[in-house]
Amino acid sequence: MSPVQRADFYERLKAWAAEPINGVYLDDSEVASLEAFLGTLSFEAESNVAETD
């Protein structure tokens, strides 16, 4: 995901977050975009987290 795509997706994500939760459905491409966006983030966890597949 390029920096421009990331910024665009973040703006769309902010708009999506303002929608009522019961009326929002993500299609497969939107889920893939969300997964790609989250993959660009990095942060330190306050406690150890067990990863599962």
The whole model's pTM is what? 0.42
pLDDT at 32: 92
Q: Is the pLDDT of residue 52 over 80?
A: no
- Average pLDDT over all residues of the chain: 81
Q: pLDDT-derived band of residue 29, with 50, 70 and 90 as boundaries? A: very high
Mean pLDDT across 19-38? 82
On whether the CB atoms of residues 16 and 24 are closer than 8 A, the answer is: yes
Question: CA end-to-end span of the chain, whole Å?
Answer: 23
Q: Is the pLDDT of residue 5 over 80?
A: yes
CA–CA gap between residue 18 and residue 35 (Å, rounded): 19
